[in-house]
Amino acid sequence: MVYTLVCHLEAKDDDSIEKIKRKLIEAARVYRKDKETVDWFVMQDVNNPRKFSIVERFEHESSQKYHLENPYWKTFDPYVKPLCVNQHIELSRHEELDTSKDVELLPL
C-alpha cells in the first residue's frame, strides 16, 4: 500500500503567503521526480489563504529516504519554516487503505 505524509503549515503573515506558495510549487516539481515517489501534492485552503497542505505519497515508508536525500531538501525547510507560524509544520503519517477489493460492511 502507499505510504502517505500529510503536512499542514500556516504562513505567519500575509507577506509570507506568496513566498510559501511559490516554494511549494517549486518543491512539488522537484519531489515528484524522486525515486519511489507516487506523487507530491500542494494545496492552499480556500477559506484561509495562509493555510497550506502537502500530501506526499510514497511507494513504501522506506521510500522517504530518497526524498530526504534529495539535495533540494536542504533548501526547503530553511526557507519555509521561518515563514510559518511558530516555524511549525504539522505532520501526520498514514498507510492508505486497500480499496481494490470488496469488503463486507459491518452492521451499525
Note the pLDDT tens digit of each residue in 23-59. 999 999 999 999 999 999 999 999 999 999 999 999 9
Residue 41 located in a structural domain: yes
Q: What mean pLDDT, rounded, does the chain reach?
A: 94
**Contact criterion met (CB below 8 Å) for 96 and 5:** no
Residue 107 located in a structural domain: no
**pLDDT given for residue 108 in this prediction:** 86
Question: What's the number of domains the chain is made of?
Answer: 1
Question: Average of pLDDT values for 67-74?
Answer: 94
Residues 6+ apart with CB under 8 A from 20: 9, 11, 52, 80, 83, 84
Residue 15's pLDDT band (boundaries 50, 70, 90)? very high
**pLDDT given for residue 86 in this prediction:** 85
Residue 17 located in a structural domain: yes
What is the pTM (predicted TM-score) of this model?
0.88
**Contact criterion met (CB below 8 Å) for 45 and 8:** no
Residue 108 located in a structural domain: no
Residue 74 located in a structural domain: yes
Residue 25 located in a structural domain: yes
Residue 106 located in a structural domain: no
- Of 59, 61, 65, 71, the residue nearest 30 (C-alpha): 71
Per the structure, the complete domain to which residue 20 belongs is given by 3-52+63-95
CATH number at 36 reads 3.30.70.100
40-59 burial by CB neighbour count: b if 16+ within 10 A, else e? bebeeeeeeebbbebebbbe
Residue 21 located in a structural domain: yes
